[in-house]
Amino acid sequence: MIKDKKGENKNNNNNDETTIGNIRDTAINWKSELSSAADRQLQNSKLLFENQIPCEWLATGEAADYLRMSPNALRICVHRGQIRVYRFGRRLRFRVKDLRELLSLKGA
């Protein structure tokens, strides 16, 4: 170890760089392990849900996400008659087919 004028060790910088390098390498390894685990999980979910019929009906929040608007803006459009809606009791339901038609008409 070499001591500087203040009597502190100069090897600390090298140790810090080595520690930072080790931390970076560990983080990269974890990231690759997580991404490969996520890929495996995605592949398994594709196989699991491959035969499932897609949902034809969407709730208000899901339809709003599909149209990229807020749920309140969607309710306003329903009130104005701009979007076709089906009521089940007090609940609003939207058909995916109707939403796609709306998007194609709007040119979105």
Residues lower than pLDDT 50 in the chain: 1
Predicted confidence at residue 44, as pLDDT, reads: 60
Predicted confidence at residue 87, as pLDDT, reads: 93
Dihedral of alpha carbons 76, 81, 83, 86, sign: positive
Torsions phi, psi for 24 (to 5 deg): -60, -45
DSSP track, 12-58: HHHHHHHHHHHHHHHHHHHHHHHHHHHHHHHHHHHHHTTTPPPP-EE
Predicted confidence at residue 22, as pLDDT, reads: 73
Residues 89 and 10: their CA atoms lie apart, in Å, by 75
Task: Look up the pTM and report it.
Answer: 0.49
Q: For residue range 51-80, what is the model confidence (pLDDT) as tens digits?
A: 555 678 899 999 999 899 999 999 999 999
